[in-house]
């Protein structure tokens, strides 16, 4: 049975500082195969979209990087660019975004922070999958060359998978742009012209020209839409919606892509979910509302399915924050499914499919430290 560790959120003395908590996670039995002297180690972190205001502090990443290096691992930090045409679309913009957000790439990270798919976000290789949907997916070249992997996720709600956690970041966060397009290809967007106020906030995010402006109004051509969701996340009026049938397939495709990463990883992986500043929007949004649950700490496991299942349950069992969306939606009380209320979805389908793909198992043991 998989083990999930929960280091709770409060820090009441120096022995419970953020760096001490990270040290305790690195000391877990499972880490012996992941942080290995003289073996390469990729730490997958999130560089969030500019405008998103509740990103995980870079110190969480740099502390993990530093401590992994102190234990002898040849560590680096990685991520992928965005599928939509925002500031993180290519290597230049992604690096700028990381610096603006406070990542000391040259100093704190010793220049060891790089895109998994290279500067173009397209360096990688097609790797076959065993599932029902993708046939295979393009992994960034970095993940094909690295030994071990730690996926560090900033937990938020997510409009398609309910919880943006370990499975989502493993399945999406190490793909090239073509790989991400493949996973998104099941999504269909709908444009409600009556809601559009002509602000044109969406236009610069569209990479395909599916959204256009003839000078008098915005129009949408679904035939050339790649389902990147840039317009959905940037529209202030909710004029773009995702048609429901594609969402179940998307959840399964994410788990399928995650299984491809695990199959092609040379070494071992470990997963860390930070439940700090849990916002209704994921890090891909160009804005963020206030968090809807208190900081709940760090959950960690070698099993991404077990980890995300526990993460979802912990959020569900937490009280909501007054004045947040949890109050708007009347889900402040402990036990209410805040994720379902906020996103209209839960990660259930993704996790069930993850089990089918032998990615992990929701049957697990939870070990708690205060």
Q: Reduced to 3 states, what is the DSSP secondary structure of residue 258? A: helix
> Is the Cβ of residue 56 or residue 196 nearer to ligand SF4 in the bound state?
196
Q: Reduced to 3 states, what is the DSSP secondary structure of residue 324? A: coil
Backbone angles phi, psi at 239, to 5 degrees: -75, -20
Backbone angles phi, psi at 59, to 5 degrees: -60, -30
Give how far Cα 19 sits from Cα of 4, 9, 216, Å. 20, 13, 54
Helices (H) and strands (E) in the chain, counts: 12, 16
CB of 229 to ligand SF4, least distance (A): 5
Q: Does 231 bind ligand SF4 (CB under 6 A)?
A: yes
Q: Does 285 bind ligand SF4 (CB under 6 A)?
A: no
Query: Who contacts 110 (Cβ-Cβ below 8 Å, separation ≥6)?
Result: none
CB of 282 to ligand SF4, least distance (A): 15
The Cα 23–Cα 239 span in angstroms is 46
Total of residues contacting ligand SF4 (CB under 6 A): 16
CB of 238 to ligand SF4, least distance (A): 13
The Cα 190–Cα 279 span in angstroms is 25
Q: Does 174 bind ligand SF4 (CB under 6 A)?
A: no
CB of 313 to ligand SF4, least distance (A): 32
CB of 108 to ligand SF4, least distance (A): 34
Binding mask 57-86 for ligand SF4 (x = CB under 6 A): ---------------------------x--
Q: Does 189 bind ligand SF4 (CB under 6 A)?
A: yes
Which residue stretch of 15-23, 54-62, 123-131, 219-227 sits at the interface with ligand SF4 (rule: CB under 6 A)? Answer: 219-227
User: Structure tokens of 316?
Assistant: 């569900």
- Per CB under 6 A, residues contacting ligand SF4 are 84, 189, 205-208, 210-211, 220, 225-231
């Amino acid at each position: 049975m998989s083990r999930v560790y929960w280091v709770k959120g409060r820090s009441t003395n120096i022995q419970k500082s953020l760096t001490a908590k990270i040290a305790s996670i690195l000391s877990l039995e499972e880490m012996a195969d992941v942080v290995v002297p003289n073996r390469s180690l990729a730490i997958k972190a999130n560089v969030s979209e500019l405008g998103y205001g509740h990103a995980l502090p870079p110190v969480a990443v740099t502390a993990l990087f530093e401590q992994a290096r102190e234990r002898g691992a040849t560590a680096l930090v990685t991520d992928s660019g965005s599928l939509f045409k925002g500031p993180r679309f290519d290597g230049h913009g992604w690096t700028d975004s990381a610096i603006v957000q406070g990542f000391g790439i040259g100093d704190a990270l010793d220049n060891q922070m790089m895109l998994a798919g290279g500067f173009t976000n397209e360096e990688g290789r097609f790797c076959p999958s065993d599932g029902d949907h993708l046939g295979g997916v393009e992994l960034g070249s970095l993940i094909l060359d690295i030994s071990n992997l730690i996926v560090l996720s900033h937990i938020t709600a997510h409009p398609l998978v309910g919880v943006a956690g370990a499975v989502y970041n493993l399945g999406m966060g190490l793909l090239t742009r073509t790989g991400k397009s493949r996973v998104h290809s099941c999504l269909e967007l709908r444009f409600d012209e009556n809601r559009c106020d002509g602000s044109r906030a969406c236009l610069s995010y569209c990479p395909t020209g599916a959204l256009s402006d003839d000078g008098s109004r915005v129009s949408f051509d679904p035939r050339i839409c790649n389902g990147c969701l840039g317009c959905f996340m940037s529209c202030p009026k909710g004029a773009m919606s995702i048609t429901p049938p594609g969402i179940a397939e998307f959840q399964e495709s994410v788990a399928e892509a995650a299984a491809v990463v695990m199959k092609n990883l040379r070494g071992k992986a470990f997963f860390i979910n930070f439940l700090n500043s849990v916002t209704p929007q994921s890090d891909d949004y160009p804005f963020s509302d206030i968090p809807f649950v208190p900081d709940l700490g760090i959950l960690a496991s070698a099993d991404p399915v077990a980890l995300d299942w526990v993460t979802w349950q912990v959020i569900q069992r937490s009280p909501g924050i007054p004045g947040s969306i949890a109050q708007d939606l009347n889900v402040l009380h402990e036990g209410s499914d805040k994720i379902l209320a906020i996103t209209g979805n839960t990660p259930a389908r993704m996790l069930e499919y993850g089990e089918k793909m032998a990615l992990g198992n929701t049957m697990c043991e939870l070990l708690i430290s205060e």
